[in-house]
Amino acid sequence: MKILPTLKRLLPGLGPVSPAERLRACCGALAGLLATGLICRLALGDLTGLPLLLAPMGASAVLLFAVPASPLAQPWSILGGNVVSALIGVACARAVPDPMAAAAVAGAVAIGAMMLLRCLHPPGGAVALTAVLGGPAIQAAGFGFALWPVGVNSLLLLVAALVFNNLTGRRYPHLAPAQPAGGARRIGFAEADLDAALAAYDQVLDVSRDDLGDLLHQVELRALERRAGGATCGTVMARDVAAVPADMPLAAAWAALNERRIKALPVAGADGRVIGLATRGDFIKATGWGRLPANGLGRLWPRRAAMPQTVGQIMTAPVHCAAPETRLAALVPAMTEAGLRHVPIVDRDDRLIGLVTQADLLAGLFGGREVRPDLRPDLQRAG
């Protein structure tokens, strides 16, 4: 009875995959291999005496259609890996008299070359062995075997994967995601932390570094959401706030910030919809207020007509807003990576109903309780 648990531990720890995704992968392999074989038959028939479709292409199809996000399944991996391995296999077949020894050397050298050229593709090992042990027709083809059928098969299968994967909702080729503006770090760990962990692991992973980072990022967000107990923006937002009109004079808005001890003013357009956010930093950047004595402003800025006159002229726009039912964890990327400190909460008509600050976010995520408005003197009515 103890054998069964032991055997279960030998099963690979694959992530959950839906039946629809399994069917998609199978259909993709069917379409790709069938198209590759038919096109080769129509183009060349049996004129060359070489196989129209190599067996290693079946292994390539597994990668291209079942795990198209894998670094081992990218265009350079399949083209470079298969062609380079074919060239190495032919060279080893000619240089090493014993076929078994030649096959072993070809496989080993192919792996080293693919890793060096960053085109590691597991079927390339089979291509190298095929070049050595494939029979008289393949040996007679010489280095041309790398072009036909290896190169042509690989290219046709790659084109089929490009079309099929994108038509069925799988981005291919799987490009590295763009970095956040300003080089912002992810929450919880920095890029250097990920690089150090991968260097310590020191093994080839069948997932790209960027995808691994994104996956860990999603894990962190889900962990934060679980810790928050389903808290939403509506449970922690300050409700006693109001938007100011975009044509509000700067002096009046600045006075409101100081008198009410707040750090940001949501700004509304003529229709009442939130169109921007004027923070204390916006005021200081535009006017210098807060840095210099107020009684010296007239001497320091003699050309006052050139200065901004209204809140709408200095506000940050567009502004990131959220709905009251938005889960707190969804605000984490915006407030940590984009550097936001205040997020207006709006209704379906984009009218202000509350405001969430970084302090609210932390209280909701790690405290799991509502922050009472009467305990929030820093966020009293600003209108």
| Least trusted range by pLDDT, from 60-69, 164-173, 182-191 | 182-191
Tokens describing residue 298: 């007239």
Q: Which pLDDT value is given to residue 377?
A: 40
CA-nearest of 250, 306, 319 to 280 is 250
Bridge-based pairing of strands 264-268 and 274-279 is: antiparallel
Tokens describing residue 309: 């006159």
Give all domains of the chain, ordered by start, each with its CATH number: 18-167 (no CATH), 181-228 (no CATH), 233-379 (3.10.580.10)
382 pLDDT more than 70: no
pLDDT average, residue stretch 359-375: 62
List, for residues 55-92, the tens digit of each pLDDT value: 999 999 999 999 998 999 999 999 999 999 999 999 99
Q: Which pLDDT value is given to residue 299?
A: 44
Q: Choose between 232 and 4: higher pLDDT.
A: 232
Gap between the Cα atoms of 296 and 274, Å rounded: 34
| Least trusted range by pLDDT, from 55-69, 157-171, 269-283 | 269-283
285 pLDDT more than 70: yes
| Least trusted range by pLDDT, from 157-166, 250-259, 270-279 | 250-259
Q: Which pLDDT value is given to residue 371?
A: 42
Q: Choose between 177 and 135: higher pLDDT.
A: 135
Gap between the Cα atoms of 28 and 73, Å rounded: 14
Peptide bond before residue 149 is cis, with ω within 30 degrees of 0: yes
Within 10 Å of residue 171's Cβ, how many Cβ atoms?
10
pTM of the model: 0.63
pLDDT average, residue stretch 13-37: 91
- Tokens 């790659």 -> residue: 158
- Which residues, including other chains, have CB under 8 Å from residue 127's CB and lie 6 or more apart? 54, 56, 81, 82, 85, 86, 89, 110, 150
